[in-house]
Amino acid sequence: MKVLVPIKRVIDANVKVRVKADNTGVETANVKMAMNPFCEIAVEEAVRLKEAGTASEVIVVSAGAAQAQETLRTGLAMGADRGILIQCDSDPEPLAVAKLLKAVVEKEGPELVILGKQAVDNDNNQTGQMLAALLGWPQGTFISKVEKTDGSFAITREVDGGLEKLEIKAPAVVTTDLRLNEPRYASLPNIMKAKKKPIDTMTPADLGVDVSPRLTVVSVTEPPARKAGVKVASVAELVDKLRNEAKVI
């Protein structure tokens, strides 16, 4: 089975982002970028399926600026076989990404698409569900386990009350949660090898998809800051403050 893994280039999760002075967005100049952590988990899972002999080929795909190539190379260094870059002028919204991915799925015919549950920049948590809807495929969201069975996938989902187990028919879309696996670091030899792996470049127009945004960003502002309070010297003082000053217990 072919596995398709959509991956996104985002501001590194360790960077504290700053809102631009003109309130049009956040500072991205000279900021460290990285593969979205949930996408790393998705690539890792696909590569493990290949190593186990369950997957025959792993394809990574990213929609975004030309620099998303770097993110694709990281995926290739982790063990994916080839990459697809859908070059876009601006970051497409999740619905547009889902439409682009649908077109790629129709060309490539994967049996499983593994996405991150959310991208840590915009935190939308939408793309996988939207792709599944457009394809008419089942969706396994926020998974901590996936197993291929006869004609289906047995999945375990992380939900608000605990864990939920579903069986979903193949082909399917799944999205990763944190406990699915621990992604590997690409080794230097694999990083070198990845440079020779093929990356196909295309545009939304090549795929016949209209990516015009539906949302306009009116403004991006800083949230009200919380100021540090006081240090207390003892547990007794803490309890006293909570009872008599904050009055919360």
Partner 1 sequence: MSTLIVAEHDNAELKPATLNAVTAAGQLPGETHVLIAGSGCGAAAEAAAKVAGVDKVLKADDAAYDHHLAENLAPLVAKLAADYSHVIAAATTSGKNVMPRAAALLDVQQVSDISAIEGEDTFVRPIYAGNALATVKSSDAVKVLTIRATAFDAAPAEGGSAAVEAVESTGDTGLAAFKGQELTKSERPELTTAGIVISGGRGMQSGENFAMLERVADKLGAAVGASRAAVDAGYVPNDYQVGQTGKVVAPDLYVAVGISGAIQHLAGMKDSKVIVAINKDEEAPIFQVADYGLVADLFEAVPELEKELG
Cα(227)–Cα(215) distance, integer angstroms: 33
* 8 Å CB contact between 20 and 154: no
Binding site for ligand FAD (CB under 6 A): 6-8, 13, 25, 36-39, 42, 61-64, 91-94, 97, 115-116, 118-120, 122-128, 215, 217, 220
DSSP-based three-state secondary structure for 185: coil
Name the binder of 179 from ligand FAD, partner 1, none, CB < 5-8 A by kind. partner 1
Q: What DSSP designation does 67 have? A: T
Distance of closest approach, residue 18 Cβ to partner 1, in angstroms: 8
* 8 Å CB contact between 17 and 111: no
Distance of closest approach, residue 242 Cβ to ligand FAD, in angstroms: 19
CA-nearest of 108, 8, 109, 12 to 62 is 8
Distance of closest approach, residue 111 Cβ to ligand FAD, in angstroms: 17
Cα(153)–Cα(171) distance, integer angstroms: 9
Residue type, 83: G
Name the binder of 91 from ligand FAD, partner 1, none, CB < 5-8 A by kind. ligand FAD
Distance of closest approach, residue 104 Cβ to partner 1, in angstroms: 16
Which is nearer to ligand FAD, 25 or 192 (by Cβ)? 25
Cα(27)–Cα(11) distance, integer angstroms: 10
Name the binder of 139 from ligand FAD, partner 1, none, CB < 5-8 A by kind. partner 1
Which is nearer to ligand FAD, 92 or 110 (by Cβ)? 92
Name the binder of 21 from ligand FAD, partner 1, none, CB < 5-8 A by kind. none
